[in-house]
Amino acid sequence: MTPPLDCPSEGRFDGAEHRFALRVYFEDTDLSGVVYHANYLRYMERARSDMLRLTGCDQRAAFEAGEGAYAIRDLHIRYASPARLNDALLVVSRMTQLRAASVVIHQRVMQGSVLVAEAEVEVAFVAPSGTPRRHPPAWRRTFETLIWKES
């Protein structure tokens, strides 16, 4: 089913890989016209959130029900090439490791075939108290089908 034209883009899955397209706007850049380094984290966050939404994970409902929420546990980022105003970028996300209460997601920001930035992000599901909590079972079953397997 194709979403109506007035709905925001959520990206799409291509196999186990989530692809999220975006454009660089003036507000994303610094004085030199290059994307400000922290904005890559925003791009990756949007891609991860939409990736989870497309898998059926309702993070808001889980939080409101007192089950918990995802929080960044660990993050390593590498910047490779600058992106600039009006550039079309693609955030490619892959779940690479699944643990009882966390999942590691490898993300690449691409401009065509050029790597702009990449990160390894570990997100942990935590109870309202902040302690780690196992993923909800239905979410875990979905994640198991999406773990990236090198060919």
Tokens representing 25 are 């706007």
Dihedral through CA 24, CA 4, CA 10, CA 59, nearest 10? 130
What is the edge-to-edge ordering of all strands in the sheet holding 102-111? 12-14, 17-23, 88-98, 102-111, 114-126, 69-79
- Is there a catalytic annotation at residue 74? no
Residue owning tokens 């599901």: 125
DSSP secondary structure, 98-140, as one string: E-SSEEEEEEEEEETTEEEEEEEEEEEEE-TTS-B-PPPHHHH
Best CA proximity match to 83, nearest among 42, 29, 27, 119:
29
Q: Which of 28, 30, 58, 74 is catalytic?
A: 30
CA nearest 138: which of 62, 50, 73? 62
What amino acid positions are annotated as catalytic residues? 30
